Amino acid sequence: MATWQCIKQCGACCHLDPEERPDIYEYLLPDELELYLSMVGEGGWCVNLDRETRECKIYAHRPRFCRVEPEVFEDMYGIPPEELNDFAIECCRQQIEAVYGWRSLELLRFDKAVGI
C-alpha cells in the first residue's frame, strides 16, 4: 500500500500562486488568507522557501495550511482522517506534476518514496 510522505527538496507545494489555486478563498479563514497572500513572492513561490535548497525556512513554525495533518485536512477540506493518506498522495502528485511536469525527477522521487 502506498503511504504518503513529504519528500525533501521538492517544494512543489510552496508554489502558492493564487491564480492557480482559486479555491483558497473557500477553505482559508480570513486571517489565514491574508497570511497566505503575504507569503506569495516572485513567480508565485513562497517567500519562506529557500529556492537553492528547496527547503522551508520556517518549517517548524509553518502555518496550519502548510501542514499535512489529519485534523487540518478534516477541518479545511472535510477529508476524514482515514482518507487522508490517499487524498494527500493524489494532491501531491497533481501539484508536483503541475509545477515540475509529469516526467519530472520530483514526481519520480515522490512515487518511489510513497510506494507507487
Domain boundaries, the chain: 12-114
pLDDT at position 31:
96
- The model's pTM is 0.90
pLDDT at position 48:
98
- Non-local (6+) Cβ contacts of 92 within 8 A are 4, 6, 12, 13, 110
18-to-29, 37, 75 alpha-carbon distances in Å: 15, 8, 21
> For the chain, which residues score pLDDT lower than 70?
none
pLDDT at position 114:
96
Question: Is the dihedral angle over the CA atoms 108, 63, 31, 88 positive or is it negative?
Answer: positive
pLDDT at position 1:
84
| In the block, residue with C-alpha cell 502528485 | 93
